[in-house]
Amino acid sequence: MKVTVIVATHLKYRMPQESCYLPLQVGRVKRRPIGFAGDDTGDQISAKNPYYCELTGLYWLWKNVPSDYLGVVHYRRYLGKRKRGRNLFEKILTEREILDYMEQADILLPKKRRYYIESVYQHYAHTHYPEHLDITREVIKERHPDYLKAFDAVMKRRSAHMFNMFVMSREKCDAYCTWIFDILEHLEERLDISGYDEFQARVFGRVSEMLLDVWITKNGYAYREAPIIYMERKHTGKKVLYFLRSRLLGKKYDKSV
């Protein structure tokens, strides 16, 4: 069984040597090549990367790679395992370990991010703009009404699988991508982002992070979680500061953390 997990990146960066990982430069159609495969070949939407983030890589993977299992991670974040030692690359899941997970569940996901004092919807509304999710709900109600109950349930939760990271079978990935890109296409038609700065313009990538749980919930898929391996130090203090500014002062995030 062949596994291909893209490592979405826009920077030249040290990459895993395991053969299942494919470093992929996302948004390459508008950037200088950095020596990795790019999402600007074949059937692709590379030009949408400033708004779709790693989803331009997912789209390319979906349309151009015939592996049995498909997945997405990031150059700074991987699905991993608890293992002592300073070598972070040794903590990243191997292809064999990924296949072992896939024998136990339908989908492999990162550990949930928990929002202890607010719901998924409230957290997004405080840090970005609530109309993003409100309009998304309208699109789902019109185009995929059988997913509306799951959407409402996910929005009320206090945890979510974030970062658009996963591994699943080609069959499921095909179903998921057909669904998610249809929703995002219609959301794009209805949402005016012409006045957004670079950070807020990534709206379609961010909204999609929550829609993965909607799709999983509606279809009742079994999943397993793996720890997230961070390749760089997390800026927890900055995230807390930006959260407090948005929560208490109503100021939206103005930079990526």
pLDDT interval class at 235 (50, 70, 90): low
pLDDT band at 84; cut points 50, 70, 90: confident
Please give the full DSSP string across 226-239, using - where no structure is assigned.
E-EEESS---HHHH
Q: Give CA–CA dist 39/33, Å, rounded.
A: 11
Rounded Cα distance between 161 and 120, Å, is 11
Interval 102-124: pLDDT, tens: 999 999 999 999 999 999 999 99
Percent of the chain with pLDDT over 90: 88
pLDDT tens per residue across span 30-56: 999 999 999 999 999 999 999 999 999
Please state the φ and ψ torsions of residue 97, each to the nearest 5 degrees. Answer: -70, -35
Q: CA 170 to CA 215: how far, in whole Å? A: 15
Q: How confident is the model at residue 58 (pLDDT cuts 50, 70, 90)?
A: very high
- Please tell me the least confidently modeled range out of 97-101, 157-161, 198-202, 240-244: 240-244
Q: How far is CA 247 from the centre of its chain?
A: 24
Report pTM: 0.92
* Token representation of residue 3: 């596994």
pLDDT in tens, 65-80: 999 999 999 999 999 9
Confidence of residue 83 (pLDDT cuts 50, 70, 90): confident
Domain ranges of the chain: 3-249
CB–CB of 207/132 below 8 Å? Answer: yes
Is the pLDDT score of 256 beyond 50? no
Element (H, E) at 109: strand 107-110
From residue 177, alpha-carbon distances to 59, 108, 130 in Å are 7, 16, 24
- CA 227 to centroid of chain Cα atoms: 15
Please tell me the predicted confidence (pLDDT) of residue 86. Answer: 84
In the numeric block, which tokens belong to residue 236?
Answer: 């927890």
> Can you give the pLDDT at residue 252?
57
Q: How confident is the model at residue 257 (pLDDT cuts 50, 70, 90)?
A: very low
Per-residue model confidence (pLDDT) at position 245: 53
Query: Looking at this protein, which amino acid is placed at residue 6?
Result: I
Question: Which residues are within 8 A (CB) of 219 and not within 5 positions of it... i.e. 6 or more apart?
Answer: none
CATH 1.10.3470, applies to 3-249: no
Cα 229 to Cα 85: distance, rounded to the nearest angstrom = 12
